[in-house]
A = this chain, B = another copy of it.
């Protein structure tokens, strides 16, 4: 459990100070481990960043897969995928913030690994859209641009969503799913 605790502290420090300005000593201080002992648990600050961002991407992918599993209707698949995407970004704002801001602080091979996961995630949405088009249910000129737009809407939620005011998570998830469906040419006439 020490590793888990250290990763959580690293995430908080990266969010607060930025990756470059954070030192291993800051992270150690946050979990009450002094000096070199921290290196018994983690190899480097870079490894911590990679592990934090990797965990975020894998959680997002797992959430997506669980959301669409066993569902065959293209409308329902996209609705569930968008809701999962939006809810994740409403709940994991710090992870999303660090994952986006510090992507450029990742060195290889970590960077390529994370970009690969991001690309996998985007492709899942593109495929949902393409399947809906093939089934004659969606009308979209560019499934790729539709996927980008849908993903960007959801990522934006991590920036503006507040627990203490404004529309709640359900309203945001339902509305953004509705927007996504309208974007691909399905209109629930809400």
Q: Is the CB of A145 within 8 A of B175?
A: yes
The reply to whether B182 and A141 form a contact with Cβ atoms under 8 Å apart is no
Asked if A156 and B148 sit within 8 Å, CB to CB, the answer is yes
- The answer to the question of A4 belonging to the interface, with a C-beta cut-off of 8 Å to chain B, is no
Report, as a range, how many residues of chain A touch the other chain. 20 to 34
- Interface on chain A toward B: helix, strand, loop, or mixed SS? helix
* Contact yes or no, B187 A183, CB < 8 A: no
The answer on a CB contact under 8 Å between B190 and A141 is yes
A101 to B157 alpha-carbon distance, docked (Å): 16
A176: which B residues are within 8 A, CB to CB? Answer: 145, 149
B residues near A56, Cβ cutoff 8 Å: none
Q: List 5 A-B contacts (CB under 8 A).
A: A20-B20, A145-B179, A148-B156, A152-B156, A185-B187
Further pairs besides A149-B175, A152-B157, A152-B159: 13, Cβ < 8 Å: A20-B21, A21-B21, A101-B101, A141-B190, A142-B171, A144-B167, A145-B175, A146-B175, A146-B179, A152-B155, A156-B156, A182-B187, A183-B183
> What are the 5 closest A-B residue pairs judged by CB atoms, nearest first?
A152-B156, A149-B153, A179-B183, A182-B182, A145-B175
